[in-house]
Amino acid sequence: MMYNKYIAARKIEVDTIILKLADEGKLADMSAVQIRDHIQSVINPQDVKPAKAEEDQNTVAKVFERFMAHKKNPRTKEIYRTTYNRIKAYLSEDAFKTLKFEDIDLEWLLDFDEFMAITAPSANARAINMRNLRAVCNFAIDCEITTHYPFRRFKIKQEVTRKRNFDVETLRRIFNHQCTEEWQQKYLDFFKLTFMLIGINCVDLCGLKCINGGRVDYIRAKTHKPYSIKVEREAREIIERYAGENHLLNFTDTYANYRHFYNNLCTGLREIRDQLMLGELTTYWARHSWATIAASLDIPKETIAAALGHGGNTVTDIYIEFDKRKIDEANRKVLDWVLYGVHPNTPKKRGRPKKVAAQTNASQSAV
Instruction: Note whether 367 and 279 are within 8 A (CB).
Output: yes
Confidence (pLDDT) at 46: 66
pTM of model > 0.75: no
Buried b (16+ CB within 10 A) or exposed e, 144-173: ebbebebbeebebeeeeeeebbbebebbbb
User: Residue 165 — pLDDT band, cuts 50, 70, 90?
Assistant: confident
Is the model more confident about 185 or about 28? 185
Q: What interhelical angle do 2-23 and 32-43 show, nearest 10? A: 120
Helices 185-196 and 283-296, axial angle in degrees (round to 10): 40
Which amino acid does the sequence have at 213? Answer: G
pLDDT of residue 331: 96
Which sign, positive or negative, has the C-alpha torsion 313, 316, 321, 326? negative
Q: How far is residue 38's CA from residue 46's CA, in Å, rounded to a whole number?
A: 13
pLDDT in tens, 203-247: 899 999 999 999 999 988 777 788 899 999 999 999 999 999 889
Amino acid making up residue 82: T
Q: State the Cα–Cα distance between residues 261 and 185, nearest whole angstrom.
A: 15
The answer for residues whose C-beta is within 8 angstroms of residue 276's C-beta and 6 or more apart is 173, 174, 177, 365
Chain length of the chain: 367
**C-beta separation of 297 from 291 below 8 A:** no
DSSP, collapsed to helix, strand or coil, labels residue 21 as helix
3-state helix, strand, coil in the chain (%, to 5): 60, 5, 35
**pLDDT at residue 353, as a whole number:** 65
List, for residues 257-292, the tens digit of each pLDDT value: 778 888 899 999 999 999 999 989 999 899 999 999
Predicted confidence band of residue 17 (pLDDT cuts 50, 70, 90)? confident
- Exposure on the CB side of residue 99, measured as CA atoms within 13 A: 21
List, for residues 126-163, the tens digit of each pLDDT value.
999 999 999 999 999 999 999 999 999 898 887 665 66
CB 144 within 8 A of CB 232: no
Confidence of residue 121 (pLDDT cuts 50, 70, 90): confident
